[in-house]
């Protein structure tokens, strides 16, 4: 069968049948959590949901990354929340600092300006380090060098449904490289020149893509659509590829991580649009999820019941909201779209 077996199931089967059985392989994969000590209380409910909904059966390890040392309390409480392996690691300084080609004064002026204009995180330097780290560095962490797949998790997110199959193996078996659950429009003020730099890169390097138009509006400008990267299951091999690295380097040298406020989500998305086939990008439509004020719940009339979704009654399914880029994705992917209004929720 296509369903992955847990090790226990496989053992039980072997014991009864007394015939050699191949274990359903686990993917070479890890959760990756970039987080600050002060976010511990937001993370504990997240990890307990993730364990309860998925990982107590699959036992994938967690890698926690921080630009500062983790506190004893953080490590103890997180370790007590799972029976899987947990590793706490410091980010190398050169993965979290301003490169030489950035003029610190110019960067400071840009932050002041954006802060004064009330752009979200516009005045923050640490947020920019975070976005650049997630765009071009986390996958270079020494502890991930032999790992093929990651699942990014943020503090404070909810998982509403059981995930009773292995999404990593799903990705691996179906030649998927990148995945998402929410697609939405970016804040334009954070990425004034990201699109033109991306197009320039494509032209200079003769990169062609048959679905880059997903990200363009009728005038050929960026339609601001991107996959929300606070949930991501993707291939580390892809991010470590020469093609991705060259694109990241080009963007980095274009200075937009510091002079503008480019997010890792649009960077990952545009890279996927350029470098992957559309079919290598997967929407995990069966995963119920919330990050901050945007939530989504699968159609509860069928799969949702089976997966014991517990979506809040008043959930305003972001998929149906203005600002969601799911309609564009739907038409691109031509997936069947069921009635997503839940009566059972």
Q: Known catalytic residues? A: 232
Give the SS3 label for residue 10. Answer: helix
Nearest to 294 by CA among 330, 251, 323, 260: 323
Query: Does residue number 319 form part of the binding site for Mn ion (CB under 5 A)?
Result: no
State the minimum distance, in angstroms, from the CB of residue 96 to Mn ion. Answer: 17
State the minimum distance, in angstroms, from the CB of residue 35 to ligand GDP. Answer: 4
Nearer to ligand GDP by C-beta: 187 or 202?
Answer: 187
**Residues lying near ligand GDP in the complex (CB under 6 A):** 34-36, 39, 66-67, 126-127, 130, 154-155, 230
Residue 34 contact partner, candidates ligand GDP, Mn ion, none, CB within 5 to 8 A by sort of partner: ligand GDP
Residue 66 contact partner, candidates Mn ion, ligand GDP, none, CB within 5 to 8 A by sort of partner: ligand GDP
Nearest to 226 by CA among 325, 119, 330: 325
**H helices present in the chain, as ranges:** 7-17, 40-50, 56-58, 72-79, 104-116, 125-136, 167-173, 194-204, 236-239, 242-253, 256-259, 264-275, 305-306, 326-333
Rounded to 5 degrees, φ, ψ at 146 are -105, 20
| From 135-143, 198-206, 224-232, 272-280, span contacting Mn ion (CB under 5 A) | 224-232
Q: What is the DSSP letter of 48?
A: H
Residue where the block lists tokens 């496989």 = 10
Q: What is the DSSP letter of 100?
A: T
Nearer to ligand GDP by C-beta: 127 or 165?
Answer: 127
Nearer to Mn ion by C-beta: 155 or 167?
Answer: 155
Number of C-beta neighbours around residue 1 at 10 A? 5
Q: Is 230 exposed, middle or buried (0-12, 13-18, 19+ CB in 10 A)?
A: buried
Q: Is 188 exposed, middle or buried (0-12, 13-18, 19+ CB in 10 A)?
A: exposed
Half-sphere exposure of 48 (CA within 13 A, CB side): 8
Q: Which of residues 229-288 bind Mn ion (CB under 5 A)?
A: 230
Residue 130 contact partner, candidates ligand GDP, Mn ion, none, CB within 5 to 8 A by sort of partner: ligand GDP
Nearest to 51 by CA among 85, 27, 75: 85
Residue 145 contact partner, candidates Mn ion, ligand GDP, none, CB within 5 to 8 A by sort of partner: none
By 3-state DSSP, what share of the chain in percent is helix, strand and coil, each rounded to 5?
Answer: 45, 15, 40
Nearer to ligand GDP by C-beta: 169 or 265?
Answer: 265
State the minimum distance, in angstroms, from the CB of residue 114 to Mn ion. Answer: 19
State the minimum distance, in angstroms, from the CB of residue 191 to ligand GDP. Answer: 13
State the minimum distance, in angstroms, from the CB of residue 59 to Mn ion. Answer: 25
Nearer to Mn ion by C-beta: 127 or 337?
Answer: 127
State the minimum distance, in angstroms, from the CB of residue 128 to ligand GDP. Answer: 10
Residue 155 contact partner, candidates Mn ion, ligand GDP, none, CB within 5 to 8 A by sort of partner: ligand GDP
Residue 35 contact partner, candidates Mn ion, ligand GDP, none, CB within 5 to 8 A by sort of partner: ligand GDP
Nearer to Mn ion by C-beta: 152 or 255?
Answer: 152
Query: Does residue number 154 form part of the binding site for Mn ion (CB under 5 A)?
Result: yes
State the virtual CA torsion across 209, 210, 212, 218 in degrees, nearest 10. 140
Query: Does residue number 162 form part of the binding site for Mn ion (CB under 5 A)?
Result: no
Q: Which residues bind Mn ion (CB under 5 A)?
A: 154, 230
């Amino acid at each position: 069968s296509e369903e992955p077996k847990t090790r226990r199931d496989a053992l039980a089967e072997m014991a009864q049948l007394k015939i050699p059985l191949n274990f359903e392989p686990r993917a070479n994969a890890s959760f990756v959590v970039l987080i600050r000590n002060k976010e511990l209380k937001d993370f504990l409910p997240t990890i307990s949901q993730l364990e309860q909904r998925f990982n107590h059966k699959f036992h994938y390890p967690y890698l926690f990354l921080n630009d500062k040392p983790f506190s004893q309390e953080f490590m103890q409480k997180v370790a007590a929340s799972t029976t899987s392996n947990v590793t706490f690691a410091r980010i190398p300084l050169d993965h979290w600092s301003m490169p030489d080609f950035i003029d610190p004064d110019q960067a400071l002026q840009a932050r002041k300006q954006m802060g004064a204009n009330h752009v979200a995180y516009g005045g923050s330097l640490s947020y920019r380090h975070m976005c650049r780290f997630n765009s071009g560095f986390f996958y270079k962490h020494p502890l991930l060098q032999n790992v093929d797949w990651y699942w990014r998790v943020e503090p404070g997110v909810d998982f509403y449904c059981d995930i009773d199959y292995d999404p990593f193996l799903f990705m691996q078996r179906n030649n998927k490289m990148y995945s998402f659950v929410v697609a939405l429009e970016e804040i334009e003020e954070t990425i004034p020149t990201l699109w033109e730099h991306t197009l320039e890169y494509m032209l200079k390097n003769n990169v062609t893509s048959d679905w880059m138009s997903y990200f363009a509006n009728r005038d050929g400008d960026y339609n601001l659509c991107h996959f929300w990267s606070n949930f991501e299951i993707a291939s580390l091999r892809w991010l470590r590829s020469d093609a991705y690295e060259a694109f990241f380097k080009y963007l980095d040298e274009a200075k937009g991580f510091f002079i503008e406020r480019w997010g890792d989500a649009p960077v990952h998305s545009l890279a996927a649009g350029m470098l992957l086939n559309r079919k290598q990008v997967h929407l995990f439509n069966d995963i119920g999820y919330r990050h901050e004020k945007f939530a989504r719940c699968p159609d509860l009339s069928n799969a949702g019941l089976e997966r014991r979704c517990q979506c809040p009654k008043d959930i305003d399914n972001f998929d149906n909201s203005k600002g969601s880029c799911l309609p564009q994705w739907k038409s691109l992917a031509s997936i069947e779209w069921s009635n997503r209004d839940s009566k059972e929720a």
